[in-house]
Amino acid sequence: MTTTAKTKRPTIRDVAAKAGVSKSLVSLVFSAPQTVSSYRKDLVLKAADELGFSPNFLARSLAAETGTFIGILVADLHNPLFAQIVDQVRVALEAEGEYSFMTSAMLLNSQGEQILDSRTVSALIDLRPKSVLVVGSVPDMHRLSSLPETVAIVIASAISKDIARATTVRSNDEIGMRLLIEHLVENGHQKIAHICVEAGDVSKSRRNAYESAMKEKGLAKFINVEFAKSATEIDGFEAATKLMNSKNPPTAITAFNDLLAIGAQGATDGTIAITGYDNTFLADLKQISLTSVDPGNTEIANKAAELLLNKDSNQKAKTFLMEPKLVVRNSSKSLVRNN
């Protein structure tokens, strides 16, 4: 046997011959498995496994009239919230026999700043996905507007103003921040500060919701917003340090997300109440025990998957707001001394 023969990649024809079925049936097993009986699907999958065959989904997508996979763009692979949503979405898609391809939409430049990876976004568009999910806030999202009108675009845990036809699924920030402020006020707090990032529509939405909730409670004079450079633990630590070293430090801090809140915990050593937003798995760790708003991550993921699977290309863009819940842990149980 020649070296060429040894390394030749098995084809659909090889799988069909070994399984004793037609080439079109093999194609169906890998493109629409839900339409094939379990018996015949098992025959094909067993033959494919024995031959070491795997379908070239890129070639199939480029050759097909419509896309053969669902593309997923993630704003930040380091954010556990986005990872949780992506995992849940992929499970839901897999259950329907749909293949998904996930990649990061962002990369770090030489200054350590996150910027859009335009080449990756362009490559995803060129591969002709059947629908696209964007998880988190991605700058210059309007690039996706070049996708055909038949390609559904769903935005999860972000606010999209760049793509008029995109459907958004996210937390109701007004309710979420109100739950946090009410909880802190009930525990005796008035001087409640807020840490957030300046850029991003979601950060602005939660900041506005914080200010509205403070005014509703008659605490307008105590509104205190500190901007962090980015939504990370390090910058959360720096922002909280500034607040604590100010002339009139707060007795409680709400944060735009869990990562900022965890950083703030390190700067305050448990002396004041700290709350986050997103209820990531980090918040539930015993050493952290962070009070946080659960934005309805599972519901967001399941709704996003449902929209991605929707075959109605005429579906109009909508915004779905999931009902958040407050999860109280040790971080907000600090006693108020001189509020």
Strands 114-116 and 106-108 come out as antiparallel
Longest Cα separation, the chain: 85
Domains and CATH numbers, the chain: 3-55 (1.10.260.40), 70-172+297-324 (3.40.50.2300), 173-294+326-332 (3.40.50.2300)
pLDDT above 70 coverage of the chain, percent:
90
> Which pLDDT does position 11 carry in this prediction?
82
Tens of pLDDT, residues 41-92: 888 888 888 888 776 655 555 455 556 789 999 988 888 999 999 999 999 9
pLDDT at 1 exceeding the cut of 50: no
Q: How many CB atoms lie within 10 A of CB 192?
A: 26
Sign of CA dihedral 180, 87, 146, 167: negative
Q: Is the pTM of this model over 0.85?
A: no
Distance CA 305, CA 297 (A): 12
What pLDDT is stored for residue 31 in this prediction? Answer: 67
249 touches 189 (CB < 8 A): no
pLDDT of 311 above 70: no
Ramachandran quadrant class, 108 (left: phi over 0; alpha: psi -120 to 50; beta: rest): beta
Residue 266 has pLDDT above 80, yes or no: yes
Q: How much is the mean pLDDT over the chain?
A: 86
Residue pair 202/196 in contact (Cβ under 8 Å)? The answer is: no
Q: Identify whether the C-beta of residue 252 lies closer than 8 Å to the C-beta of residue 184.
A: yes
Using one digit for the tens of pLDDT, what is the confidence trace for 123-142? 888 888 888 999 998 877 77
* Better pLDDT: 87 or 149: 87
Only one residue has tokens 């097909």, namely 64
Task: Indicate the pLDDT class of residue 12, thresholds 50, 70 and 90.
Answer: confident
pLDDT(215) > 50: yes
pLDDT of residue 183: 97
Q: Is residue 4 over pLDDT 60?
A: no
Helices 38-51 & 12-19, crossing angle to 10 degrees? Answer: 120
3 state DSSP class of 74: strand
* Alpha-helix residue ranges (DSSP H) falling in the chain: 3-7, 12-19, 23-31, 38-51, 57-63, 80-95, 118-126, 173-186, 201-216, 233-244, 258-268, 297-309
Average pLDDT over residues 307-321: 78
Mean pLDDT of the 104-115 span: 75
Q: Is it the case that residue 237 has pLDDT exceeding 90?
A: yes
pLDDT of residue 279: 96
Sequence-distant (≥ 6) Cβ neighbours of residue 285 within 8 angstroms: none
- Number of C-beta neighbours around residue 180 at 10 A: 28
Beta bridge partners of 228: 197
pLDDT band, very low/low/confident/very high, at 5 (cuts 50, 70, 90): very low
Structure token pair of residue 268: 């305050």
State the average pLDDT over residues 207-213.
98
Res. 315: pLDDT tops 70 = no
CB 313 within 8 A of CB 149: yes
